């Protein structure tokens, strides 16, 4: 079959992901043919058993980096990986072999340089403060069309050449979304990634702060500044969501705005301090 002839490189940067990396790899390799995918796990700055767990999978190659740095981990794997399309996958998501194939097939279309899967957000065991935010966020046009917030980004060889030319950015998935024109990127409905949301409002605020700092950082980059506004939420989009179902949606939109204001305050503090390295990690979903 056509897919088995492709060696897709899957790169998984993993910092202290012992609790979830096995889940991802089990699902990724369960239906994969031998040699179908080239899988690299980069255990970066780990103090747990991430490398040992990943190394127990026969078809997985493990690299170890002393520093906890996602961007550096991705570049390290790039020095060893050979296949294209090339997929960068967060260790805390769930993504299967069938989803990899569907995502890789998107690059058969001329002009597609970057692609991401559709997103599933399980609501179980999340308080209303988290569920309401994602109920609104997942309806925003910019979120539906962008490649960010999916935990998986795929690039062609040409797309990879353009992406690696960028300086290190806190939000690598945001950079991949902004770097390419809408016609050059695609969200593949036949491919689905399960993204586990935070389980507390505090954890949600941390990762939303990281996302906004990434947006502000991108606005200062000459390659991305012209497109950075497209990653921002507009009031007209929020108004449309509220008007579509005033009784149910209006309280959720109000809560979304509260969290957004709190996020902006925290992100501006980080920008003033020129802190573009702190990784606001969510441990509650792991």
Query: For a pLDDT cut of 90, what percent of the chain falls above it?
Result: 72
Whether residue 11 contacts residue 81, with contact meaning beta carbons closer than 8 Å, is answered with yes
How far, CA to CA in Å, does 228 sit from each of 37, 98, 115, 145, 215? 33, 32, 18, 14, 6
280: helix, strand or coil: coil
- For residue range 107-141, list pLDDT tens digits in order: 999 999 999 999 999 988 899 999 999 999 999 99
Q: Record the pTM.
A: 0.91
28-87 pLDDT, tens digit per residue, is 999 999 889 999 999 999 999 999 999 999 999 999 999 999 989 999 999 999 999 999
CB burial string 148-157: b at 16+ within 10 A, e below: bbbbbbbbbe
Note whether 61 and 41 are within 8 A (CB): yes
């Amino acid at each position: 079959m056509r897919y088995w002839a492709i060696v897709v490189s899957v790169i998984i940067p993993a910092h202290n992901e012992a609790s979830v990396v096995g889940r991802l790899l089990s699902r990724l390799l369960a239906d994969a043919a031998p040699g179908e995918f080239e899988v690299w796990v980069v255990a970066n700055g780990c103090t747990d058993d991430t490398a040992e767990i990943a190394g127990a999978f026969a078809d997985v190659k493990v690299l170890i980096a002393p520093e906890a740095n996602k961007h550096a981990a991705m570049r390290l794997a790039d020095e060893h990986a050979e296949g294209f399309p090339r997929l960068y996958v967060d260790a805390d998501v769930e993504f299967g072999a069938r989803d990899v194939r569907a995502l890789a097939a998107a690059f058969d279309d001329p002009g597609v340089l970057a692609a991401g899967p559709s997103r599933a957000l399980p609501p179980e065991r999340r308080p209303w403060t988290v569920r309401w935010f994602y109920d609104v966020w997942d309806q925003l046009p910019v979120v539906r069309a962008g490649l960010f917030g999916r935990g998986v980004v795929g690039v062609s060889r040409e797309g990879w050449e353009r992406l690696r030319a960028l300086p290190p950015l806190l939000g690598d998935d945001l950079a991949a979304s902004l770097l390419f024109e809408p016609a050059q990127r695609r969200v593949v409905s036949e491919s689905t990634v399960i993204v586990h949301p935070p389980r507390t409002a505090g954890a949600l605020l941390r990762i939303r702060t990281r996302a906004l700092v990434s947006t502000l950082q991108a606005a200062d980059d000459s390659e991305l500044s012209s497109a950075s506004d497209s990653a921002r939420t507009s009031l007209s989009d929020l108004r449309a969501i509220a008007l579509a179902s005033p009784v149910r949606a209006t309280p959720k939109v109000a809560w979304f705005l509260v969290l957004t204001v709190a996020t902006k305050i925290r992100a501006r503090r980080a920008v003033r301090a020129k802190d573009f390295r702190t990784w606001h990690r969510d441990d509650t979903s792991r």
